[in-house]
Structure 1
Amino acid sequence: MKLDAPELLQSPLFEGLPPEAREIAEQAFRTMVYRPGQTIFEAGDSGHALYLIRSGRVKISHCNLDGKEKVLAYLNPGEIFGEMSLVDEEPRSATATAVDEVTLHALYLEEYWGLVRRYPQVAHNLARILARRLREMNHEVEILTFEEARGRIAYALLKLYRHRYGEPTARGRRMGLTHRELADLAGTSRETATRVLNQFHEQGLVHAESRAIEVLDTEGLENVLYDL
């Protein structure tokens, strides 16, 4: 299965590359399919590849010292993950799991360096991706450390929205997300997430269903986050 142009355009890894780079990229990537719930890699595994999501959703998580899972992100088609392994060749720092049936394109270390030799912009793009995620992580630590539940839930929804998670609608963006999944992202309980979502629903910030949440008012969520 080959990569197609929309997938390449969605990935910041290929930003600024000339059209002829597409054929080289098609030869460099390998395609893999995972069943719902199947582990793609675990924290501590050797890392030799990054992955571009062609279809399906991927959950990124890790376990705390007490063994409790902390969900770091839900990723959509067009996004990449596992890229740190191409930089430091250290073991995986998190676990990646297929939420539903997932098709991935894997770029292994040797092929990555082959692309970099032809197109140095790829290495620059990867550095920008890592820098952006580091900034997000620093911001998230601050939010999860100091914000109350409403701020945490608002932040988690805004983060998903900015990463174009889900599908655009006439009113905003609809995300296939359960209350439990949102609670895991926000570092709170499912009961608390449901209570806060009901408040947001009444305020017109979101339209909350049992297995989907439609974000309607990002400015209103920003106001919640920064207590405006």
Structure 2
Amino acid sequence: MALTKPRLFRKGYKFYDSQPEMYFLVSGRVRLMALAPDGSEKTLWYLGDGSCFNETPMFMEDEKHMAFGQNEVRFFHECAEDCYICTFTRDDVYRLGMEKPELFYNLCKSYSVKVTLLSRNSVSLSIESQLTRICKFLASRIVPGSNPLCAKRDISYRDMADLLGMHRITLYKVMRQAQSRGLFSFDKNSDEIFILRQDEFYREARM
């Protein structure tokens, strides 16, 4: 998909959704953030290699629709590590759609998948228990072939708590309760969580 040369963006670089550009993540990891009017930030999602982001401005022809009031939540993407990223202007995207319609179709599919996943996450935060959310998160990070079964945490506990819609202290508390009943075992200084009662774990994760 690269019509432009990938550029290195350092960890911490921010891409605001008011910028009329789309980005393609060649390598690295980017997170979607929400910025509240009081200045607090919350991690909503992580994107990996081969992901597009900031697509919305490409389909907003009227710039005033992208304007935000002082008391509204803003969204931006931030490099969670050093990343190589291709940048596309609105003209680039239009030309891409005209010259390579199959790639434009794939872009639409990618966008629809992202919307679906974010919608499911929103529903999960509304109706699922805290333990179910934790188990789903861990189930998506099971190390293939691990014995005993092991999940590997790839983000900090703070970001994990943000993604799961709870305070970090609450996350620790629920995980310790699950550990005390023998569901899984973990050390907060390690990125590995060992699943001890697999059947119960997967039932809790609704899988």
Pick the TM interval, shorter chain.
0.7 to 0.9
Name stretches of at least 5 consecutive residues in structure 1 with no aligned partner.
1-24
The answer to whether structure 1 residue 37 and structure 2 residue 15 are counterparts is: no
Q: CA deviation at 1:215?
A: 7.7
Q: Distance in 2 between matches of 1:143 and 1:80?
A: 24
Which residue matches 1:195? 173
In the alignment, the residues of structure 1 paired with residue 20 and residue 175 of structure 2 have an alpha-carbon distance, to the nearest angstrom, of 37
User: TM-score, normalization: structure 2?
Assistant: 0.74
Code of the aligned partner of 2:100: Y
Q: What is the distance in 2 between the residues matched to 1:194 and 1:141?
A: 22
Q: Secondary structure at the match of 2:131?
A: helix
Task: Please list, as runs of the form range in 1=range in 2, the aligned pairs for 1:36-185 lying within 5 A after superposition.
Answer: 36-39=11-14, 41-43=15-17, 45-55=18-28, 57-89=29-61, 91=66, 94-158=75-139, 161=140, 169-171=144-146, 174-185=152-163
Instruction: Report the Cα offset of residue 105 of structure 1.
Output: 2.0
Residue aligned with 1:210, SS: coil
Extract structure 1 runs of 4+ deviating beyond 6 A: none
Give the counterpart letter for 1:77 in structure 2.
Answer: D
Q: Partner amino acid for 2:55?
A: E
CA contact (8 A) 1:60 1:94 kept: yes
Q: Cα deviation per residue 1:133-189 (whole Å; 9 max; x = unaligned)?
A: 22222222211112222123234445xx3xxx7x95532653422111100111111
| TM-score normalised according to structure 1 size | 0.68
Stretch deviating more after TM superposition (28-37 or 209-218)? 209-218
Q: Do 2:22 and 2:88's aligned partners in 1 also have CA atoms closer than 8 Å?
A: yes
Aligned partners of 2:201, 2:36: CA distance in 1, in Å?
A: 28
Gapped runs of 5+ residues in structure 2?
68-73
Structure having the higher Rg: 2
In 2, Cα distance between equivalents of 1:219 and 1:32: 45
Identity within the alignment, %: 19
Residues 113, 222 of structure 1: CA spacing in aligned structure 2 closer, same or farther, 3 A cutoff? farther
Structure 1 equivalent of residue 191 of structure 2:
212
Q: Structure 1 residue 207: deviation in Å?
A: 5.2
